[in-house]
Amino acid sequence: QSVLTQPPSVSAAPGQKVTISCSGSSSNIGNFYVSWYQHLPGTAPKLLIYDNNQRPSGIPDRFSGSLSGTSAILGITGLQPGDEADYYCGTWHSSQGAVFGGGTKLTVL
Amino acid sequence: QVQLQESGPGLVKPSQTLSLTCTVSGASISSDGSYWSWIRQHPGKGLEYIGYIYYSGITYYNPSLKSRIAMSVGTSQNQFSLNLNSVTAADTAVYYCATTLQFRNDVFDIWGQGTVVTVSS
């Protein structure tokens, strides 16, 4: 049972927009920054978003992050087949250290 | 660019100690501000944080694993290591090493590819 709650799966057609939610509490998202990671099985996870809405160098602006209270949202526009992956949110917890969501599998139809 | 590579046995017997090493290239393990971290993923599950070690030796361990963990840094080899003792089948997972944004312990910007560890007799 992950500390942060994500939908198990989302899907959308190429070129469309999709959002992935990440729900937490005041012990984590409510008081700490959220990061998002993209993971293709068998490869190293990749940092997409940090500090709720900041993109590391090299991450296209098709990826965006936002925060509302104790929930975070990852948005992906202009979906491409290469975006098909597992996406994880992460943050810090006041008594558990880093915590993550259970992951959301994105399918590009 | 910075790269991390995990290494260690893929099979560990129950009650024994799991020992993994992460070799860092492209950066010094003694760099100020980097938190050298371990994260694992159980089969079909989400990510679980194990903890970090700072180059000075300061550590933070996940409270749920704290009693079984020891991390160390090998500055001459530019490596850091994880020891997890008294393993059970519940420790079967893909183990990742990662480093963080500078002076942050909560944002993992570089990850290794992961190493599969199975606990079985």
Instruction: Tell me the DSSP string of A58-77.
Output: T--TTEEEEEETTEEEEEE-
Cross-chain Cβ contact A101/B46 below 8 Å: yes
Token pair of A68, please? Answer: 């509302």
Q: What is the pLDDT of residue A47?
A: 98
With 0-12 CB in 10 A as exposed, 13-18 as middle and 19+ as buried, what is A31? middle
Q: What are phi and psi of A68, to 5 degrees?
A: -145, 105
pLDDT for B111 equals 97
Q: What is the pLDDT of residues A47-73, one digit of tens each?
A: 999 999 999 999 999 999 999 889 999
pLDDT at A1: 81
- Residues on chain B bordering chain A, Cβ-to-Cβ distance under 8 angstroms: 4, 37, 39, 45-49, 51, 60-64, 96, 98, 101, 105-114
Residues in chain A: 109
Residues of A in contact with B105 (CB under 8 A): 92, 98
Q: How far is B16 from chain A (nearest CA, A)?
A: 25
Report CB contact under 8 Å: B45, A99.
no
What is the reported pLDDT for A18?
A: 97
Question: Secondary structure of B27-94 in the HEC alphabet?
Answer: CCCCCCCCEEEEEEECCCCCEEEEEEEECCCCEEECCCCHHHEEEEEECCCCEEEEEECCCCHHHCEE
A35 Cα distance to chain centroid = 7
Alpha-carbon gap, residue A77 to A64, rounded angstroms: 9
Please report the pLDDT score of residue B55 as a whole number: 87
Q: What confidence tens digit (pLDDT) does each residue in B22-41 have?
A: 999 999 999 889 899 999 99
User: B48–A100: do the CB atoms touch at under 8 Å?
Assistant: yes
From chain A, which residues contact B within 8 Å (Cβ)?
A: 2, 32-33, 35, 37, 42-47, 50-51, 56, 88, 90-92, 95-103
Residues of chain A with pLDDT under 70: none
- Chain B's closest residue to A47, CA to CA, is B109
How many Å separate Cα B82 from the centre of its chain?
5
Closest CA–CA distance from residue B94 to any residue of chain A (Å): 10
- Concatenating the DSSP letter of every residue in A27-70 gives TTTTTS--EEEEE-TTS--EEEEBTTTBPPTT--TTEEEEEETT
Residue corresponding to tokens 């709650």: A5
- Residue B110: what pLDDT? 96
* β A18-23/B3-7 pair status: unpaired
Among candidates B60, B107, B112 on the partner chain, residue whose Cβ is nearest the Cβ of A35: B107
Instruction: Tell me what pLDDT residue B113 has.
Output: 95
Q: Which residues of chain B have pLDDT under 50?
A: none
Task: For residue B43, give how far its alpha carbon lies from the nearest alpha carbon of chain A (Å).
Answer: 11
